[in-house]
Amino acid sequence: MAKVSPAQFVRQVRQEINRISWATRRETGTATLTVFIMTTIAALFFLLVDWVLSNGVQFVLGFGG
């Protein structure tokens, strides 16, 4: 790897930063909302699965009330 001066390194970093395609505020908000919705759906799904399995085990072992 070739050695570069600190000034050259900073110039290269700035060039790379200018090439980045940054997400818009709307895209960021949409992605955030999607993550919250999917997390909520996953949490509800696992809550339901846990409840079903818990009741099934209690029934099989005779602990159900």
What is the pLDDT confidence band of residue 64, given thresholds at 50, 70 and 90?
A: low
Domain ranges of the chain: 27-59
Summarised one tens digit per residue, pLDDT across range 24-40 is 999 999 999 999 999 99
pTM of the predicted model as reported, rounded to 2 decimal places: 0.65
Examine the pLDDT at 8 and tell me if it is beyond 80.
yes
CA–CA gap between residue 4 and residue 9 (Å, rounded): 6
Question: Which residues, at least 6 apart from 58, have a Cβ–Cβ distance to it below 8 Å?
Answer: 64
CA–CA gap between residue 35 and residue 6 (Å, rounded): 40
Give me the pLDDT at residue 3, please.
87
